[in-house]
Copies of this chain bind each other. A is one copy, B any other.
Amino acid sequence: MPSAIFAGVEMGGTKCVCILGSGPNDILAQEVLPTGDPAATLGAIAQVLERWQASFGKCKAIGVASFGPLDLRRESRSYGRIGTTPKERWTGVDLAGSFAKRFAVPVGFTTDVIGAALAEGRWGAAQGLSDYAYITVGTGVGVGMVSAGRPLLGFHHPELGHVRVVRSPGDDWPGNCRFHGDCVEGLAAGPAIEARSGGSAVDLPENSPIWQTVAHALGQLAHILVVSVAPQRILIGGGVLSAQPHLFPRIRSYFATSLNGYLDTPEVTSGLEQYIGPPGLGTRAGPLGALALALDTDAGHGAAASPTSAKPVRYV
């Protein structure tokens, strides 16, 4: 038995994963629940955690890593809540509070993709790095960034999937983001690929020309990252990339072509294969992210950093 155990809850749009342990090689229990009505779902998760505590003992901290948007600013009156989301009944739900009220332990709260980034830093392909980015390409495109060792946040968490990018030459497919059309998410997420191909993104053959446009958009996203936050490494995971690893050399190639020698540093020249690569934890990064957040919370820095003087966001 480890000396201390931690609980993580990864809240997803269709399912929630509860996890108990202290790291990827020490998972005591894991359980998946469907995401339904908020009260029922949160009640069922709490019951799982209570049952585990009865079997394994009290956990030291709980990490909640959730789909967003989230209010992560400590001083905000809506801290800990979900913002306006198409999952209507979930808008305004007090996620962090619901766990804090029921369990007398510290509760960390962040986005699913920031959680995954924390797990990659603690146990995966970003170990030892102070500045890195984790991109997930699945039902959406999300980006979690760690800067100077802490999750990067401003008045809001990053939403870099919704950045507009230069299009692949000759490509004028309008994209399928309901806000932006051809932002990165509207071009490269699974639903975009499926809307465009009429089939599954996971099964689309490697030689489909659609992959060029997907790789181009992700190469542009990497260009934006390197000239903005300059991560030491960019990890790209999620269902699309794990099923289509041929995308990596294409993304690197579009990235290098786009940057065009502007930064003459080993990260983006000789080291490019390491610079843009897959996560170390694969599909486990999500639930392990919630667990990493619990460990960070216990260490005193799991609560997301937040601006000290921000005005409240009118989320709800």
A-to-B contact residues, CB < 8 Å:
83-84, 128-131, 143, 145, 147-150, 152-160, 162-167, 179-180, 220, 223-224, 226-232, 258-267, 271, 305, 307-311, 313-314
Secondary structure at chain A's binding surface: helix, strand, loop or mixed? loop
A228 to B263, CA, bound (A): 20
Residues in B with CB closer than 8 Å to A227 are 158-160, 162-163
B154–A230 touching, CB < 8 Å: yes
A149: which of B157, B232, B308 is its contact (CB, 8 Å)? Answer: B308
A45 to B228, CA, bound (A): 32
Residues in B with CB closer than 8 Å to A159 are 227, 262-263
A165: which of B166, B260, B264 is its contact (CB, 8 Å)? Answer: B166
Minimal beta-carbon separation of A258 from chain B (angstroms): 6
A260 to B266, CA, bound (A): 38
A307–B265 touching, CB < 8 Å: no
Residue in chain B with minimal CB distance to A148: B305
Q: Which of A148, A224, A262 has the most CB of B within 10 A?
A: A148
B163–A260 touching, CB < 8 Å: no
A265 to B150, CA, bound (A): 24
A307–B263 touching, CB < 8 Å: no
A232–B130 touching, CB < 8 Å: no
A130: which of B149, B152, B308 is its contact (CB, 8 Å)? Answer: B308
Minimal beta-carbon separation of A114 from chain B (angstroms): 13
A84: which of B131, B156, B264 is its contact (CB, 8 Å)? Answer: B264
B152–A229 touching, CB < 8 Å: yes
A230–B148 touching, CB < 8 Å: no
22 contacts between A and B (CB under 8 A): A128-B309, A130-B307, A130-B309, A131-B155, A131-B307, A147-B152, A147-B154, A148-B305, A148-B307, A155-B265, A158-B229, A159-B263, A162-B227, A162-B262, A163-B223, A179-B259, A179-B260, A228-B229, A229-B229, A265-B314, A266-B311, A267-B311
Residues in B with CB closer than 8 Å to A309 are 128-130, 232
A258 to B230, CA, bound (A): 24
A314–B156 touching, CB < 8 Å: no
A307–B232 touching, CB < 8 Å: yes
B232–A228 touching, CB < 8 Å: no
A290 to B260, CA, bound (A): 32
Residue in chain B with minimal CB distance to A275: B155
Residues in B with CB closer than 8 Å to A156 are 226, 230, 263, 265
Residue in chain B with minimal CB distance to A83: B264
Residue in chain B with minimal CB distance to A150: B148
Q: Which of A224, A259, A265, A267 has the most CB of B within 10 A?
A: A265
A230–B153 touching, CB < 8 Å: yes
Residues in B with CB closer than 8 Å to A230 are 153-158
Residues in B with CB closer than 8 Å to A163 are 223-224, 227-228
Task: In the A-B complex, list the 10 residue pairs whose CB atoms are closest, starting with the nearest.
Answer: A154-B230, A131-B154, A130-B307, A156-B230, A159-B227, A179-B262, A164-B166, A265-B313, A179-B260, A155-B232
